[in-house]
Amino acid sequence: MKLNNYFYLLISLCLCIILSSTYAKTVSPEDCQACHPDEYRQWEGSHHDFAMQIADKNSVSGNFNQAVFYKQGVKDGIKTTFYKNNDRFMVKTDGENGKLQDFEIAYTFGVYPLQQYMVKFPKGKIQVLDIAWDSRTHEEGGQRWFSLHPDEKIMAGDVLHWTGPNMNWNYMCADCHSTNLKKNYNQSDKTYATQWDAINVSCEACHGSAADHISHATEIEQGNRNKALDKEWLNNKKLSINFPLAKQRHWQTHKETGKPRLSEKSDQYQVELCAKCHSRRSQFSDDFVPGDNFRDHYLPSLLTESLYYPDGKINDEVFVYGSFVQSKMYHSGVICSDCHNTHTLELKVPGDKVCQQCHLSSQYATATHHFHQQDSTGADCITCHMPAKTYMGVDVRNDHSFRIPRPDLSQAPGIPDACTNCHEDKSSRWAAQAIKKWYGKTPTGYQQFSPALYAIQAQTDQTLTEIYNVLLSEIPNIAKASVVNHLGDYPSQQTLMTSLQMLNSGDADIRRSALQSLSSFPIQHTLKSIFPKLEDPVKTVRLEAARILSALPEGNMGKQQKQILDKAIEEYRQSLLFISERPEAQLSLAQLYQNWGKTGQAEKAFIEALRLQKHSIPAYANYANFMQHQGRETEAYELLQQGIKVTHAASLYHALGLWFVRSKDQQKALINLQKAADMETDNARYQYVYAVAMAAKNPQQAIEILETSLQKHSGDVATLAALMNYYKQSGDQFNADKYRRKIEKVMTYKIQSK
């Protein structure tokens, strides 16, 4: 008997040793299954499970039976053939040199509504094909190959070609489709050694390392720990992040208003965790651990013109986070798992019923609320409050800002609204009038920042007023952060003081935007306030402060201050080196080295930027400017000519025009400046510079150019100042005074008395 006990004890000890060595590194979903079978079953077969797979007969959805697809959809386009070579999945398509080549499919990417395919290249680089498989049913228009860029003729060498930098998996995609991914780019030999703990999005991607969790649980199970007295276990289950269970979140209906409210304080860290992948952001490290501050590893995008419509609705592919944090739902404490099953990723209940978990159907699922026929599309919560847009050809995604339809804000050209998405034969004006008739007023909703974003984009004479309206209102922080940096466009004592105040905000995005605004002011007025942000608790803020102060002369700086500055700048440099395979990172490195006086390193970075992307317009412009500062005018001219030949970009014609200005060749300067102005008639800066160059020859024509530009950009300060000066020079004091008053109005915010 004693021998048997000894034998079993020996086996148990060996098993513990095996478990310890196994879980010291990575825990697989199968390891979690034993204790969490329901969660495993829900996760298995989900989009997270199928985020990335090795290409084989079980994972590939597409037709590889000699299927032929022509890019640009015509027979004379590039012919791509999908076929099989024994058990290998193959594609014959245009490679890096533009010629047809055979490639083996190494991995699949996603599963529904589309599946993409990946090819290994030398030096560890992995590229994603820009022809994808439509996984939808025949009835839905699927079961076909289609191009992700159907309306563009993209050839080899283009950044969007499937062999180009914007279709590179290592940088563009990998971080979100695999668990604990390390990119491992080596700038010296231009290679990747990308690794992952799990090829897909597994348990540890969201819950963090589970080794200690399993070890601890095993000890409790074996009786070696008292679960009830184990504070570590009770606190966080020995995980880096501990999610609240659904039963721990109590949404209650207010008796008087009928509206839901959370009975206890809500922690939004789950939203920040999901934001790691479900957001439009840039990345500056790959050592994120669930529970970390999102902004210590990523920089989320704000409500910029290229990404969002002026009313804040989704435009470009921005995913979810930037929309959700605009919403009243988010600010009331709603988190992702209130609506979504975090393992299946499906809605917890289908359709409008997910809304009715909190919102009373007796109050909202009625014609007195939606004014549409019951069970019609117009009566659907999601259709009206989460209007959808299609990305990647077939992927329909809903806006998560949960906004009240405001067709009155969508009357500017190109801005969609939920009403005319269905009523395609009607106008936004018609929809706005209908809503006002229904409710007796225009419902304002929570996102009341559209006038400010529109004014900023159009550079109207109301821009500064609208910026202050946002800053002085109860408006989502993402909107405030999106306008604060524009205070610096209107430099005055007033905007300087406001920017300094915003620097003390509790929101990191607002603090960072305030730093950007302050960079427009003389450093002697801002240094004392910017310097402490080198030690801000949030990395995105520290990096921006370091960027601004990287050109700061050491002067009489004390030893401690120098150490703080050096540490922050090195942190900034490392963040750029992390993405050094990107031309924009090389340009930032070049500027940093210039600030340090290291011109040799700066030039290497410029050259690397152009090697990485020969069509990089900023690389040509900034490198030429660098050469000019060194007195290498001829080289700068040749570089600009080369850039124009490759890109035909307005900004390079503009730069070339300025080169001719410095060379005192007025005629050629005007030709190139006019070219840039004609190519981008909405660019107030190009119109202004062209007019200034024209003024030496024909002041009246310069005034006409400026007046035309002002019709589109009524608040552009440079244009207004030039008009004031040229009218004054021409003896027209009336118009000179008119524009002087206009400048004063544009540059000053007056508090409105109620």
Per-residue pLDDT tens over the stretch 118-155: 999 999 999 999 999 999 999 999 999 999 999 888 88
- pTM (predicted TM-score): 0.93
Sequence-separated (6 or more) residues with CB below 8 Å from residue 203 = 27, 29, 32, 43, 210
565: pLDDT strictly greater than 80: yes
25: pLDDT strictly greater than 80: no
Give the C-alpha separation, 96 to 116, whole Å. Answer: 19
B/e letters for 195-234, b = 16+ CB within 10 Å, e = fewer, are: ebbbebbbbbbbbbbbbbbbbbbbeeeeeebeeeeeeebe
Give the C-alpha separation, 621 to 640, whole Å. Answer: 7
221 touches 214 (CB < 8 A): no
* Integer-rounded Cα radius of gyration of the chain: 29
23-32, 56-65, 553-562 — which is least confidently predicted? 23-32
- 107, 174, 323, 481, 627 from 458: Cα distances, Å: 45, 37, 22, 18, 33
Give the number of other Cβ atoms within 10 Å of residue 42's Cβ: 17
* Residue scoring higher pLDDT (26 or 723): 723
46 touches 65 (CB < 8 A): no
- Mean pLDDT of the residues in the chain: 92
Dihedral of CA atoms 625, 627, 631, 633 in degrees, nearest 10, equals -80
444-501 per-position pLDDT tens digit: 889 999 999 999 999 999 999 999 999 999 999 999 999 999 999 999 999 999 999 9
**Hey, what amino acid is at 148?**
L
Q: Once rounded to an integer, what is the mean pLDDT over residues 424-439? A: 92
103 touches 95 (CB < 8 A): yes
What is the dihedral sign for C-alpha 556, 560, 562, 565? negative
Sequence-separated (6 or more) residues with CB below 8 Å from residue 379 = 365, 367, 370, 372, 373
* Residue scoring higher pLDDT (249 or 534): 534
Enter the DSSP assignment of 157: T
6: pLDDT strictly greater than 80: no
* Residue-level pLDDT at 23: 37
Give φ, ψ of 70 to 5 degrees.
-105, 120
| Tokens found for residue 469 | 């309206």
Give the number of other Cβ atoms within 10 Å of residue 256's Cβ: 6
168 touches 126 (CB < 8 A): yes
Dihedral of CA atoms 545, 546, 552, 556 in degrees, nearest 10, equals 90
534-562 per-position pLDDT tens digit: 999 999 999 999 999 999 987 778 899 99
Strands 298-300, 79-85: pairing kind: unpaired
Q: Which residue, chain included where needed, has tokens 């412009």?
A: 621
Give the C-alpha separation, 751 to 537, whole Å. Answer: 34
Strands 185-186, 191-192: pairing kind: antiparallel
590-609 per-position pLDDT tens digit: 999 999 999 999 999 999 99
Q: Which residue, chain included where needed, has tokens 């007019």?
A: 691
Count of residues in the chain: 754
586 touches 606 (CB < 8 A): yes
By the 10 Å C-beta count (0-12 exposed, 13-18 middle, 19+ buried), 316 is classed as middle
744: pLDDT strictly greater than 90: yes
Give φ, ψ of 400 to 5 degrees.
-100, 25
Give the C-alpha separation, 495 to 488, whole Å. Answer: 7
- pLDDT band of 218, cuts 50, 70, 90: confident
- pLDDT band of 753, cuts 50, 70, 90: low
* Residue-level pLDDT at 162: 97
- Secondary structure class of 752 (helix, strand, coil): coil
605-621 per-position pLDDT tens digit: 999 999 999 999 999 99
1: pLDDT strictly greater than 50: no
Q: Once rounded to an integer, what is the mean pLDDT over residues 572-585? A: 98
Cis before residue 113, ω within 30 degrees of 0? yes
Beta strands in 28-174 (DSSP E): 52-54, 67-70, 79-85, 88-94, 100-109, 114-120, 126-128, 131-134, 144-147
* Residue-level pLDDT at 146: 96
**Hey, what amino acid is at 44?**
E
* Residue scoring higher pLDDT (362 or 114): 114
Give the C-alpha separation, 279 to 269, whole Å. Answer: 15
